[in-house]
Amino acid sequence: MAENQTTKILRRHLPADDFRPGEEVGLRVDEALLQDATGTMACLQLEELGVDEVSVPLAVQYVDHNLIQLDFRNPDDHRFLQDFSARYGIVYSRPGNGICHYLHVERFARPGDVIVGADSHTTTSGAVGAIAVGAGGLDVAACMSGQPLILEAPRVVGVELRGCLPEWVQAKDIILELLRRRSVRGGVGRIFEFHGDGVPELNVGQRMTICNMIAELGATTGVFPSDERTREWMVLQKRQGDWQPLTPDEGASYDEDEVIDLSSLEPLIARPHSPDHVVPVREVVGLRAAQVCVGSSVNSGYDDLAIVAAVLKGKTIAPNLVMTVTPGSRQILDIIARSGVFTDLIGAGARMLEAACGPCVGMGQAPASGTVSLRTFNRNFPGRSGTQDDNVFLCSPTTAAATALRGVITDPRELGPEPSLPPSMANPEIDDSQILWPPPKEDRRAVVISRGPNIKPPPPQAPLPDALQGDVLIVTGDDVSTGDLAPDGAVVMALRSNVDAMSSFTFRRLDPTFATRARDAGGGFIVAGWNYGQGSSREHAALAPKALGVRAVFARSFARIHRGNLIAQGIVPLTLEGTDYEAAQQGQAWRMPRVRQELASGSGTVDMQAGSRSFRARVNLSVREREVLLAGGLLAYLKAGGKPLSAGKAMSGVVDQGSPITQPAPGDEQDS
């Protein structure tokens, strides 16, 4: 039978012949990646699993997030990670070498591999034909210890790309178009596979943009064929041996279909405060901008920066705004330096930043109060930039360049014909001197791991009690991001290795009293709307409320990675009917009198008491997830000898699909 590419890859990583959407599967992992902001806690948890070395063929630890060294905390983490990598057999990419997503595609990702990473944008590696999935740190640690990657078998969405992009319209506009159509909830439980005659029109850099931001749809991942364009990329990277062709079979079908006619697209922009608030740029032209930021986690490849430089060459950016440019890696920095792109950007007045995540994750470059900031980044959740009343728009590099020139949001098509790019990636200098390979096996045990004073052990995991009770500590709306739970930025992210200290910032933006109230009450419950925990993979968004005593979260629906993190950290995710959600109020005393027994018995509901009112919350958990929760979390479960799944074995028990087909788009909610 004709197979699509996703099914082919998943099947190769599963001995069992078949899998059905919604069922849990355990995939053999070929590559794992960590970055520093999630890595220290993942490594500390891996250590607790008592392994002697990592069991995946390739694991890479990148240092790219916490590079603002305000004090000892971040450099202590970096030192810990370097030692830890040497001790356990992990490849270590030094600070300054670049952003994990870019580097992984440049130096490591292979077509057909299954990759898991403690960063939601691990999906970027789908650009070279891998199934690359973001997960929480503990889930990644479990994979590194030899466990399979456990996933809800996804529905596969075939996205047929037709034709080619018009002048000034970019890969960013393709992914913004998908976000416009499907929303930030529209990808949950789905893998987006790109096919069609428009695919060969896109190079690997453009495919990276699309696969990176597929995470913004809540998708499991996105994947492109491994074709001639992929081979070209691998040759330039001197990795031709890693290339293999991989395409869907002729006539392959998909669970769902989308068609995008590239030639009909126009420049798009996501308005504040969500990546799916997408409109044509022409609808917001003329809005005065105070900041333009190019590059970072997405759109920081050579072509992205070179087109911006070509637009700005010999001109000066508007005086009412500041502009930053971030290259994705040292390799890109080198190419832009040698090709003159760097000089053109500086000449125009851009501030060049180091090859690191930087402002994309609130590490510096916060915009001025109440002003408009245009960014080529992937997320514009409120306050993520570091400024509470920010107004961040997401757009392509060409829209950013046109705006930088004019000082107001500008449709790049107003600039006349699109300039051609200077000679590009013809010969990127391949220099892996900033990638450190672990010492030979026999020397690893002698490595001493340095631990700074901010590095605290992972919080202990205790079995789920028979009953849970407490106050509703907060009732939130829809689409709460993990940044609300564990905030972005230099100050809070420096506390990622010290969960107790970090937990004081939980829900800081929505309710600065939350942490104190929760701590004083000895815990309680969180009630939320649709798509709770969207965004980042950071398990800290579960660890922090857990440290404050939260053992259950009730939501209309959950984002995939966050739901996994809640379970891994022993917090029960439950779903509420609309009427029960509406009736929930902060301060109500709630009781779950039989929760342990109900989870153990496989019940699909949990009895709830809210004062004199009784209702039922839904639990949609696999057998394994129930066992993990009863043990108090994945660490406790694995330490007690719990066997999650042998790689490849499909498991009975259907998990929550969060399906957008039954789940309304924002602004269109109905009770399910």
* Bridge partner residues of 469 (DSSP): 591
Q: Using CB under 6 A, which of the segments 54-62, 453-461, 533-541, 589-597 binds ligand MIC?
A: 533-541
CB distance 562 to 542 below 8 Å: yes
How far is 332 from 295, CA to CA, in rounded Å? 11
When asked if residue 64 is in the footprint of ligand MIC (CB under 6 A), the reply is no
Strands (E), 354-467: 372-375, 391-395, 435-436
When asked if residue 195 is in the footprint of ligand MIC (CB under 6 A), the reply is no
When asked if residue 212 is in the footprint of ligand MIC (CB under 6 A), the reply is no
The alpha carbon of 99 is separated from its chain's Cα centroid by a whole number of angstroms, namely: 13
The length of the chain in residues reads 672
Chosen residue from 28, 87, 110, 121 binding ligand MIC by CB under 6 A = 121
Nearer to ligand MIC, 38 or 506 (CB): 38
Nearer to ligand MIC, 229 or 375 (CB): 375
How far is 450 from 455, CA to CA, in rounded Å? 10
- Minimum distance between the CB of residue 315 and ligand MIC, rounded to whole angstroms? 32
Chosen residue from 13, 538, 560, 626 binding ligand MIC by CB under 6 A = 538
When asked if residue 657 is in the footprint of ligand MIC (CB under 6 A), the reply is no
Q: Using CB under 6 A, which of the segments 125-133, 265-273, 415-423, 531-539 binds ligand MIC?
A: 531-539
Q: Using CB under 6 A, which of the segments 117-125, 140-148, 166-174, 343-351 binds ligand MIC?
A: 117-125
**Tokens in use for 56?**
């995946």
Chosen residue from 82, 124, 476, 537 binding ligand MIC by CB under 6 A = 537
Nearer to ligand MIC, 195 or 379 (CB): 379
**Tokens in use for 185?**
């909830």
**Pairing mode of beta strands 435-436, 572-575:** unpaired
Q: Using CB under 6 A, which of the segments 108-116, 119-127, 341-349, 413-421 binds ligand MIC?
A: 119-127
Q: How far is CA 465 from CA 181, 462, 589, 594, 596, in A?
A: 43, 8, 18, 9, 6
- Minimum distance between the CB of residue 543 and ligand MIC, rounded to whole angstroms? 12
Site string for ligand MIC, 134-153 (x = CB under 6 A): x-------------------
When asked if residue 6 is in the footprint of ligand MIC (CB under 6 A), the reply is no
Nearer to ligand MIC, 413 or 546 (CB): 546
Nearer to ligand MIC, 226 or 373 (CB): 373
Cβ contacts of 337 within 8 Å, gap of 6 or more: none
- Minimum distance between the CB of residue 38 and ligand MIC, rounded to whole angstroms? 5
How far is 309 from 599, CA to CA, in rounded Å? 58
How far is 244 from 227, CA to CA, in rounded Å? 8
Q: How far is CA 45 from CA 93, 566, 639, in A?
A: 20, 15, 11
* Bridge partner residues of 117 (DSSP): 33, 134
When asked if residue 300 is in the footprint of ligand MIC (CB under 6 A), the reply is no
Q: Using CB under 6 A, which of the segments 118-126, 326-334, 342-350, 428-436 binds ligand MIC?
A: 118-126
Nearer to ligand MIC, 34 or 629 (CB): 34
When asked if residue 484 is in the footprint of ligand MIC (CB under 6 A), the reply is no
CB distance 150 to 624 below 8 Å: yes
- Minimum distance between the CB of residue 312 and ligand MIC, rounded to whole angstroms? 27
- Minimum distance between the CB of residue 328 and ligand MIC, rounded to whole angstroms? 13
- Minimum distance between the CB of residue 502 and ligand MIC, rounded to whole angstroms? 12
CB distance 388 to 362 below 8 Å: no
- Minimum distance between the CB of residue 544 and ligand MIC, rounded to whole angstroms? 12
What is the total count of residues that contact ligand MIC (CB under 6 A)? 14
**The residue to which tokens 């991942």 are assigned:** 221
- Minimum distance between the CB of residue 257 and ligand MIC, rounded to whole angstroms? 28
- Minimum distance between the CB of residue 41 and ligand MIC, rounded to whole angstroms? 10
Chosen residue from 30, 106, 119, 390 binding ligand MIC by CB under 6 A = 119
> In degrees, to the nearest 5, what angle opens at C-alpha 143 toward C-alphas 139 and 147?
110
Nearer to ligand MIC, 125 or 536 (CB): 536
When asked if residue 424 is in the footprint of ligand MIC (CB under 6 A), the reply is no
- Cα torsion 266, 158, 380, 569 to 10°: value is 180
How far is 184 from 665, CA to CA, in rounded Å? 8
CB distance 510 to 485 below 8 Å: no
Q: Please name which of 310, 332, 308 lies closest in space to residue 425, comparing C-alpha atoms.
A: 332
- Minimum distance between the CB of residue 384 and ligand MIC, rounded to whole angstroms? 8
When asked if residue 495 is in the footprint of ligand MIC (CB under 6 A), the reply is no
How far is 284 from 287, CA to CA, in rounded Å? 6
Q: Please name which of 254, 277, 276 lies closest in space to residue 196, comparing C-alpha atoms.
A: 254
Chosen residue from 37, 204, 260, 293 binding ligand MIC by CB under 6 A = 37
- SS3 call for 204: helix
Q: Please name which of 644, 643, 632 lies closest in space to residue 460, comparing C-alpha atoms.
A: 632
When asked if residue 38 is in the footprint of ligand MIC (CB under 6 A), the reply is yes
When asked if residue 61 is in the footprint of ligand MIC (CB under 6 A), the reply is no
Residues numbered 65 to 104 that lie near ligand MIC (CB under 6 A) are 65
Q: How far is CA 553 from CA 466, 574, 662, in A?
A: 17, 6, 21
How far is 504 from 297, CA to CA, in rounded Å? 27
When asked if residue 120 is in the footprint of ligand MIC (CB under 6 A), the reply is yes
Q: Under the phi-then-psi rule, with left for phi > 0, alpha for psi from -120 to 50, and beta for the rest, what region is 489?
A: left
Binding site for ligand MIC (CB under 6 A): 37-38, 65, 119-121, 134, 297, 361, 379, 535-538
